[in-house]
Each structure stands twice: as structure tokens, then as C-alpha cells.
Amino acid sequence: MERVSLPAASTRLPAGDASSPLGSGALAPERYLDAAATAPLRETARAAMAAVYDDLAANPSSVHQAGHRSAAVVETARRDIAHSCGVRAADVVFTSGGTEANNLAIIGLALANPRGRHLVTTPIEHPSVLESCRYLERVFGYELTLVPVDGHGRVTAADIARAVRADTTLVSVGLGNAEVGTVQPLPQIAAAAKRVGALVHTDAVQAAASLPVSMHGEEWPGAQIDAMSIASHKFGGPQGVGALLVRAGLKVEPLLHGGGQEQGRRSGTENVAGIAGFAAAVRECIATVGTRALTLMASRDELIGRVLSEIPGASLTGDPRERLPGHASFVFAGVSGESLLVALDMAGIAVSSGSACAAGHDEPSPALLAMGRAPEEAHAALRFTLAAPLAARIIERIIATLRREVTGVNPRGSEAAAASAVRQAAH
């Protein structure tokens, strides 16, 4: 079961808190290594939200001047997010977050475009993707095909091509996996799906803040993505707001019924301040995505190298090359990921033992099981996701803490490492 370490009182991660039991600066970004769960709030996002609240934040559907000002904030944010993500403003549907965006994409597109009753996805997707597919399977009689992944969590375009058929309605494959960081070959996957006329959705919640994305082919020629899910808090915006980027003109059956906001695709009063903060975070994040990725990759690779060479029984999960820039994930043979998480938390390092959306479940990671890991290994996962480059002293603290915990709990680490290597080679 994952326990996500969060700030006790203040969400101002960069400042730290001298009264914290972990000491001054304990929540600085370089010690907060759980950005895949939520990224620290950017000051630009905080300022954008404050400006909205200072101006009353009227209902954007109201016809008075204050309402018009709120509507203008929403539409400006829509244009900014569209420009940053390589889509049109009409493609942006604001939601309450990535989970709602995934539900709206899968259920909404499948029900509104009934060319068949067949869905294709993989077993390592976010629960909101898998459960939306299972809902359609259970309630509407859809057939669901889960395309296997390899030991690194990769699925190939050839695998998708073999799975799709004439009655395939929708193919949904996440761009970057939250648990192990593997990046999928999405342009090729989309091309395979389009050969049979299927719609294509990608959950880009984890990837959009760290990789160039586009639905219309500027970065991915011929990608032909129909819908893409993103979430504000992965960019450093506020929690509780996200968007489904869906090709304008494509029918979407709404999940929420009411006043017909968001072009009739998502009813409910828009979260004006949250949307403003979302757009500010996206603008700043995407403007520096290339340079930030390079610095995070350098820290990521140094951390991976040190862990694999110095910690007995450590094994990298996910693709060693095609992975998210700030993502390093491991299993530790014979050691509980939970115990390592707690030890690092006490050392002032915030990490997680898997997807934050699976918190509260004491089951081995379904993603790791699908990748061929043994149940005991799937219980021994630890995920480091960087919000900022790592200073040398932070890497030293991580290595020292892991070495102490692993050698203390697992003194025969070399034997456990050998057994783990044999299992991994058989995957």
C-alpha cells in the first residue's frame, strides 16, 4: 500500500519550514521526489488564481460585466492551453482533472461513435482508463482487448495492429506510464489504429508536462490523435482541474448533464480561478520543456546508475531508454517498498511506492504484474519522480538511506539480487 508523503501544513514547497520535524527546507523541490503524484504549485499559477479571486470570480455564464470578465479568463486560458499543446481552442474541454478527462474520452467517445463495440487498451493503464473500459464492458456489452506489454512496459504498433479489427471503436494507450515511466511509441500506435478507422485516445497526464505533445502532428507527423487527457497539477497548477483535448467536431456523449457548458460536452460552472492557474502553469512549463527535460534526465540517470551499482538487489523498472525525463523506478529484492518509503520520508525525501491513484490498496502493482514481475517484487516498488534537478548531497542521502535499509533488512542482498536477475531475464 502506498503512502504519499505530503506537506504537513504549507504547500509552499520551495520555502520549507524551520518548525518541520524534518528541519528547515525539508520540502524543497530537490527533496520532493513525488512529482508524478502532484508537482509543486508554480508561483505563476498561484498569482493567476489570486488575480481571479481578487476580481470576485463571478460565474462565467452570467450576463453582467463581472460574468463577462470571468468568461474572458476562461476563454483566454483555453486559447493558451490550446496553443501550448498544439491543438485548437475548440478542442479544449475543461474538466475536474485527469480522471474525469479519461472517463469522458473513453465513455463519451465510445457511446457517441458506435461504429462497433470493441475497445483496445493495455493492462498497465491508469485505473480511470481501465475502469472506464470495464464499465462499458459491464453495462453496455463492449468487448475489451488488453494488449500485453513486454518486461519494460512497452507495447508495439504491431501488437496494436494485431488487436484492432473492423468493429474497434476506440484504442486508448497512455503516452507515459505513471508507475514505471515508460514512454510508448504513440504515433505508430495511432497509425495502426487508424488503419481500421478506430478512434485514438491517449492519457497524457503524466507525459504532457515533460514531453512535447501534439494531437495534430506538428511534433508527431501523422499521429492523428483524436483525444488527449491532461491535468493541471502535473504542470505545477492547482489540483482539481484538467482538460480533455478532443478533436473539434467529434461527437462526445457528456457524462455530466445540466447547463451545457463546455460546448455541451461537460456541464457545470467552470472553475475560473483553477483554470487560470492551470493555463499559467501550462504556459510556463511548456515554454521550458526541452531544457528542463535535459536537466532532469541528467539527475535521473545519475540516480539510476548509483542505485543499480550500489544497492544490493535493486532492479530498474520500465524502459531504460524510452522513459519520462524525471522518472526513476525500482524494485528491491526481499525488501518492502513501504519500508523504504518510510525510511526516506524520515530522512526528508518524499517519494512513493507506485501510483498515487492506487493509494489505500495493499495489493501488488497490477502494472508490474503485467510486466512479468513476481508478486513479491511488485510489492517492493519505489518511485522517484523529480520536480527539480538533484543536488549531489540529496543523491548521497538517498543512497545512504537505501543502503542502510536494504542491507539491514536483506543482509544476503547478493543472493536476492541474483534471484531477481534470473526472474527478470526470464520475462
How far apart (Å, rounded) are the C-alpha atoms in residues 270 and 282? 18
Note whether 42 and 236 are within 8 A (CB).
yes
Give SS3 for 398: helix
Cell of 389: 534537478
For the record, the C-alpha cell of 87 comes out as: 491543438
Q: What is the DSSP string of 76-105?
A: HHHHHHHHHHTS-GGGEEEESSHHHHHHII
CA 249 to chain centre: 27
**Rounded Cα gap, residues 308 and 391, in angstroms:** 19
Q: Give the whole-angstrom CA distance, residue 174 versus residue 184.
A: 7
Alpha carbon distances (Å) from 255 to 2, 143, 262, 266 = 30, 21, 12, 7
The verdict on whether 357 is a catalytic residue reads yes
CB 368, CB 180: distance < 8 Å: yes
- The 3-state DSSP class for residue 403 equals helix
What sign does the CA torsion over 163, 166, 170, 175 have? positive
Alpha helices in 127-271 (DSSP H): 127-140, 157-163, 186-194, 232-235
Cell of residue 267, nine digits: 456541464
- Of the listed 85, 133, 285, 357, which one is catalytic? 357
Cell digits of residue 115: 461504429
Between CA 375 and CA 379 the distance in angstroms is: 6
Comparing CA positions, the residue from 275, 351, 287, 285 lying closest to residue 35 is: 351
Give the whole-angstrom CA distance, residue 33 versus residue 39: 9
Sheet containing 381-385: which strands, arranged edge to edge? Answer: 314-316, 327-332, 381-385
**Contacts for 176 with CB less than 8 Å, ≥ 6 apart:** 182, 183, 184, 204, 206, 207, 210, 211, 323, 324, 327
| DSSP, res 56 | T
Q: Which residues are part of the catalytic machinery?
A: 357
